[in-house]
Amino acid sequence: MIVNVDADRCRGHGICCALCPDVFELSDDGYATVRPGEVPVELESAVRDAVMQCPERAITAT
Ligand code: SF4
């Protein structure tokens, strides 16, 4: 799974980080970033939840 946060859309709500802290983290400037490395299969469902619940539609996962 390849996960991306569109920095132009992200508004730093942190919902993604709450749903899946092993994949998303808030950077020092308050916006979400994707932690480096492969997303474990067992976290893919949580990532999809984050995609659906991001109010800004900033996350893509393929
Ligand atoms: S939920 Fe969406 S807008 Fe909020 S921090 Fe995560 S990526 Fe950014």
Binding pocket residue ranges, ligand 1, CB within 6 Å: 5, 10-16, 32, 54, 56, 58-59
pLDDT digits (tens, 9 = 90+) for 24-36: 999 999 999 999 9
Q: Identify the domain containing residue 35 by its residue range.
A: 3-61
- Residue 43's domain is classified under what CATH number? 3.30.70.20
Structurally, the chain folds into a number of domains equal to 1
d(CA 30, CA 52): 20
Average pLDDT over residues 46-62: 98
Q: Nearest residue CA, atom 3 of ligand 1?
A: 10
**Which amino acid type is present at position 33?**
T
Ligand 1: atom nearest CA of 15 is 1
In this prediction the pTM is 0.94
Q: Nearest residue CA, atom 4 of ligand 1?
A: 13
* Number of continuous H segments (helices) and E segments (strands) in the chain: 2, 4
pLDDT band at 21; cut points 50, 70, 90: very high
∠ CA 3-36-55, nearest 5°, is: 40
On whether the CB atoms of residues 3 and 54 are closer than 8 A, the answer is no
